[in-house]
Amino acid sequence: MKVLLLVNKNLIPPTESLSEEKVLQEPWKTEYHVFQILNKVGHEVFIQGVGSEVSEIQKPLEDFRPNVVFNLLEEFDGEAVFDQNIVSYLEIMGVKYTGCNPTGLILARDKALSKKVLAFHDIKTPQFEVVAFKSTPYKGIALSRCKFPVIVKSLNEEASLGISQKSVVYNEKNLTERVNFVISQLQTDVIVEEYIEGRELYVGVLGNRRPEVFPVWELAFNSPNPVGENIATAQVKWNSKYREKHKISLGPAHLKASEKKTIQAIAKKAYKELGLSGYARFDFRMSSEGHFFLLEANPNPDIGKDDEFASSARHQDMTYEELIAKILNLGIKWNPRSGIS
């Protein structure tokens, strides 16, 4: 098939074969991995970098006339919330595409909105409050729904953007400081949610109407002397040397069969209730009492060969080549008129 690979303008991968050791150090590793697989199995692939112009998408659609778009865009014009507009445009143009549909992206991108939907369907999530963006600093913020400690995050940014050890706060003074910091740095609304102490678990889901659930993955903090709270900061997520230094590992979760069944059922239910399609990853916390709290839904998560989504698929005996092929086929089969209800 003719496949148009949409990537961020700053993440256009080289097309020549490179050593995996070199690729893993590059920010475009996912884009490179996907291109190499698509090319290897015989598709005609055209890579298009996208920045802030709709014409950057429109022109290759007209000139290349792809059978399907493999969408790796997570933003448009520097705005993460515009990712839903890209797939809306593709649907209007009658073009098949991979990944999540616009409705699912809208619901999952807004962490507060998704938590409301999940709570309506009796899926446990942490208590939360939203602090609206404003240009002048807040002088004081008091909590009405949550109890300390709380974690402060951007309402709609992903990939641990803006999250550090200072994100977990224990009093109103530090809360106000952290909220102002996140707003000044990211220029977004802020979500403040109760911090659930416990194990960090991830569950990948793949599919449209009949989603399949991958094995449960765990971000394990194994150091006897942890640095602050055990949270997935940007350092933890992206810095392999930092993880090695602090004995942080990522791999299959050691859970009882009943616990695996429970968390996978929650992930599958959340996938359907949020209207997701294509593929997604759910971030959970398992409390010391054994309760599962769904922290976030992440449609279109990173699908690099070494990331947790692909790693958990391999644990289920699905090769990387098979994973990319399934994602491509799900995109071809998706019908925006019928949805997933």
Go through 39-70 and write b for each residue having 16 or more CB atoms within 10 A of its CB, e for each that does not: eeeebebebbbbeeeeeebeebbeeeebebbb
Q: What is the pLDDT of residue 340?
A: 59
Q: What is the pTM of this model?
A: 0.93
Q: What is the pLDDT of residue 81?
A: 86
| Confidence band for 239, pLDDT divided at 50, 70 and 90 | confident
Residue 196 token pair = 């659930």
Same domain, 319 and 204: yes
231 pLDDT more than 80:
yes
| Confidence band for 233, pLDDT divided at 50, 70 and 90 | confident
Same domain, 11 and 61: yes
Supply the range of the domain harboring residue 80. 2-97
Over residues 314-331, the pLDDT tens digits come to 999 999 999 999 999 999
Residue 121 CB neighbours (<10 A): 11
Same domain, 167 and 235: no
> Has residue 139 been placed in a domain?
yes
Using the 3D structure, point to which of 155, 177, 194 is the last residue of a domain: 194
Q: What is the pLDDT of residue 234?
A: 75
Same domain, 328 and 208: yes
State the sign of the Cα–Cα–Cα–Cα dihedral 300, 73, 29, 335. positive
Separation CA 132–CA 307 (nearest Å): 33
Same domain, 204 and 174: no
> Has residue 105 been placed in a domain?
no
Token pair 């659609």 in the structure block, residue: 61
Q: What is the dihedral of CA 65, 68, 71, 76, to 10 degrees?
A: 40
> Has residue 106 been placed in a domain?
no
225 pLDDT more than 90:
no
The answer to whether 265 and 180 have CB atoms below 8 angstroms apart is no
The answer to whether 105 and 113 have CB atoms below 8 angstroms apart is no
Pick the more confident residue, 142 or 43: 43
Q: What is the pLDDT of residue 227?
A: 66
Same domain, 221 and 310: yes
> Has residue 113 been placed in a domain?
no
* Least confident piece of the model among 2-11, 73-82, 262-271, 284-293: 73-82
Using the 3D structure, point to which of 194, 214, 231 is the last residue of a domain: 194
Same domain, 213 and 280: yes
Find, among 128, 102, 131, the residue nearest to 274 by Cα: 102
Mean pLDDT throughout 119-141? 94
Mean pLDDT throughout 205-227? 89
Using the 3D structure, point to which of 194, 224, 251 is the last residue of a domain: 194
Over residues 287-324, the pLDDT tens digits come to 999 999 999 999 999 999 999 999 999 999 999 999 99
Find, among 207, 221, 216, 297, the residue nearest to 262 by Cα: 216
How many structural domains does the chain have?
3
Mean pLDDT throughout 74-83? 90
Mean pLDDT throughout 134-146? 91
Q: What is the pLDDT of residue 271?
A: 98
Q: What is the pLDDT of residue 289?
A: 94
